[in-house]
Structure 1
């Protein structure tokens, strides 16, 4: 397997979620191995991924023969079969894959995978649902990224009520304990270090802070 500046990924389970993850990683130029027990799922990505093989994630030897232990990251994307998901997670850990991400189907499943040593447990439906709900709740929220420990970076669309106001005139720090990281004005980034930057309607204001403070600010716009 060739080594380059990009990482290598083994994606096990090529349903909709696994195929999307694997295809996007390959599009970014990474070395990606796709594994599934269903031939048509493997055939579907054979020309997109670096490698695609038919194998059972429950079988440690099959994963070993596929070279999974040589990859930087394993993504266990098996969705419907709880036992297969857990056994596959155990196997990639036994093979010594440095980083393991696993798709979970429930809170209990999440706890089990964490106990098994998964580096990141994801519940795509819940995460996307929360993301969409946040944007539906306040149309000014264009997007956001969770940084952990309660902190988020949020992309707000500047409304008419803030047009031509200075960043330091809306109480971000004093009233909401938020930090302005900058503005996106079309394709141009405008810094806000001095606080004197004037906002314009439809600018994208990038804010860093805790969720509850970001929500208070957004709800008041």
Structure 2
């Protein structure tokens, strides 16, 4: 069965917005990019399904451009907080199903949340926390926060553990963690085989609370 694609409107084609729009398009989705800056629109015209110069604080202009027909909108307007807020209000009134918005600060975040944005993003803070996690524990290559203190992390097996079996790591016993699987190169392996032997550079995919994940990573 073919993967179902969705349509996305990305409003604001600065560094953040253009990166998200490009990736969404690379995944095969229909993506329209919108900005007031003619140069930014021109740069993205060949990458996206369509790109246009548009004042998104004008609700009629949004409707005439057909933005209300898109499944998801990402508002990635940079420093113009007023434009970000008005655009969020306009898209909500137009009935866009899902609206994500980039916030400039916590006050902006609170306002956008009150306006009914489905998710408000503070990219610098989120990336800062992400990098801090990896700097704090070098064996952690990547992680995703799931809320309520739970995260999924990608932990690299150090070379000194080569040849050990999975049970020797104490996952689920010594450590209150759940093992979701293992990546060996580009190959995913389930970890239910009792005779699975670890190799250097294997990457464990673990689910658990941050303190327990940290304790496990420190032990490695």
TM over 0.5: yes
- Give yes or no for the alignment of 1:112 onto 2:111: yes
Query: How many Å separate the matches in 2 of 1:87 and 1:188?
Result: 46
Which deviates more from structure 2 when the two are superposed, residues 81-90 or residues 107-116?
Answer: 107-116
Distance change (3 Å), C-alpha of 1:195 and 1:105: farther
Query: How many Å separate the matches in 2 of 1:75 and 1:86?
Result: 13
Query: How many Å separate the matches in 1 of 2:46 and 2:9?
Result: 16
Distance change (3 Å), C-alpha of 1:195 and 1:150: farther
Is this contact kept in 2: 1:168–1:196, CA < 8 A?
no
Partner of 1:77: 76
Query: How many Å separate the matches in 1 of 2:121 and 2:41?
Result: 23
1:161, distance to aligned residue in structure 2 (A): 3.8
Q: Deviations over 1:33-77 (max 9, x none)?
A: 111111111111111111111111111111111111110000000
Query: How many Å separate the matches in 2 of 1:16 and 1:188?
Result: 32
Partner of 1:160: 159
Is this contact kept in 2: 1:191–1:197, CA < 8 A?
no
Please provide the CA RMSD for this pair.
1.5
Distance change (3 Å), C-alpha of 1:109 and 1:196: farther
1:194, distance to aligned residue in structure 2 (A): 4.6
Query: How many Å separate the matches in 2 of 1:176 and 1:12?
Result: 44
After TM superposition, the structure 1 = structure 2 runs for residues 65-144 of structure 1, keeping only pairs within 5 Å, are: 65-144=64-143
TM-score by length of 1: 0.93
SS at match of 2:172: helix
Partner of 1:200: 199
SS at match of 2:47: coil
1:95, distance to aligned residue in structure 2 (A): 0.5
Query: How many Å separate the matches in 1 of 2:195 and 2:211?
Result: 26
Partner of 1:150: 149
Which deviates more from structure 2 when the two are superposed, residues 96-105 or residues 141-150?
Answer: 141-150
Is this contact kept in 2: 1:11–1:18, CA < 8 A?
yes
TM-score by length of 2: 0.93
> Where do 5+ consecutive residues of structure 1 fail to align?
none
Alignment: residue pair count: 218
1:195, distance to aligned residue in structure 2 (A): 4.7
1:196, distance to aligned residue in structure 2 (A): 4.3
> Where do 5+ consecutive residues of structure 2 fail to align?
none
